[in-house]
Structures are given as C-alpha cells and as structure tokens.
C-alpha cells in the first residue's frame, strides 16, 4: 500500500469511527499532497509525500513555538496531537545522538574544520536525514560541531 493510499484508508477509518480530530488532521495532510500533485501536474511517490508530510510537521512545530509564546496551551496541545498523528506516516525519526553521529562522520569525511565547510557537510548529511530529522536541528548540530 502506498503512503497516499494509507492516508486515504486512515482518513476513511477515522471518519467511520467518528474520530473527527484524526480525520481532520489526515485530511489536511491529504490536501497538502493533492495540492502539490495538481499544481505540478504529477503523481507523487512515497518519498515525495514524506517530504510534504515532513514540511507539515515542521510548520506545526514552528507554530507551536508561537502558541507557547502567546500562552495558548490549548493550541499547543492540539498542535502536539496533530504532530503525533503525522509522525505515524514518516520514517522513524532520528534521535539527537544519531543526528550527532551522522554529522560527526560527515565532518570527518570532508575534513571540515570551520563553519565555511558547512555546505560540504550538509551535502553529505542531508540525504541521510531527509524526512527523518528537521533540517533546522541538523543545521544547528553542524554549526555546533564546526564552531568548536
């Protein structure tokens, strides 16, 4: 079953079980996928859908920070729940230790020793973390290691 089919099935199941929140969250994810397909006139594969869903998770994490600043715990809780649902469709997320190990290996591989080498390191790290870690977090790890 493709990821797109899985989203469709989970949406139907959520509707039948009257899980309105899950149905709405999965529907938003499906809409994001369909928008890209219609806009570009293409049919997306699972890898491309994972990229879209990762962006959706990233947007929600950023929004959650704003909600926290605005002391809107209700919206923080709702956004956390949406993220949990969406993470079910993404590959297993990397832990901070795993990200750090990948970054260190890449730094050693290219012989990076300053922040000027960040682009080289990112070129090696990005394919390994794509859809499995937030790019901002990965970038921060690279900066931290290269600034030491």
Instruction: Give me the pLDDT at residue 69, please.
Output: 92
Give pLDDT tens digits along the chain (148 positions). 888 999 999 999 999 999 999 999 999 999 999 999 999 898 988 888 988 998 899 899 999 999 999 999 999 999 999 999 999 998 888 888 888 899 889 888 888 788 888 888 888 888 888 878 888 888 888 888 888 7
pTM of the predicted protein model: 0.75
Q: Which of 65, 48, 58, 130 is nearest to 87 (CA)?
A: 58
Contacts of residue 98, defined as CB under 8 A and 6 or more positions apart, other chains included, come to none
Q: How far apart are the first and last CA of the chain?
A: 46
CB distance 101 to 141 below 8 Å: no
User: Which of 43, 51, 11, 13 minimizes the C-alpha distance to 30?
Assistant: 11
Any idea of the CA torsion for 98, 112, 127, 61, to the nearest 10 degrees? Answer: 60
């Amino acid at each position: 079953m493709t990821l797109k089919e899985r989203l469709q099935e989970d949406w139907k199941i959520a509707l039948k079980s009257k899980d309105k929140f899950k149905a709405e969250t999965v529907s938003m994810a499906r809409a994001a996928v369909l928008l890209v397909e219609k806009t570009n006139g293409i049919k997306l594969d699972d890898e491309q859908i994972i990229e879209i869903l990762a962006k959706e998770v990233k947007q929600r994490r950023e929004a959650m920070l704003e909600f926290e600043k605005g002391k809107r715990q209700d919206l923080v809780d709702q956004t956390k729940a949406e993220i949990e649902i969406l993470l079910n469709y993404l590959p297993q997320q990397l832990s901070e230790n795993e990200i750090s190990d990948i970054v260190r290996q890449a730094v050693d591989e290219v012989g990076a020793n300053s922040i000027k080498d960040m682009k080289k390191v990112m070129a090696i790290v990005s394919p390994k973390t794509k859809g499995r870690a937030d790019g901002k977090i990965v970038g921060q790890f690279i900066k931290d290691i290269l600034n030491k």
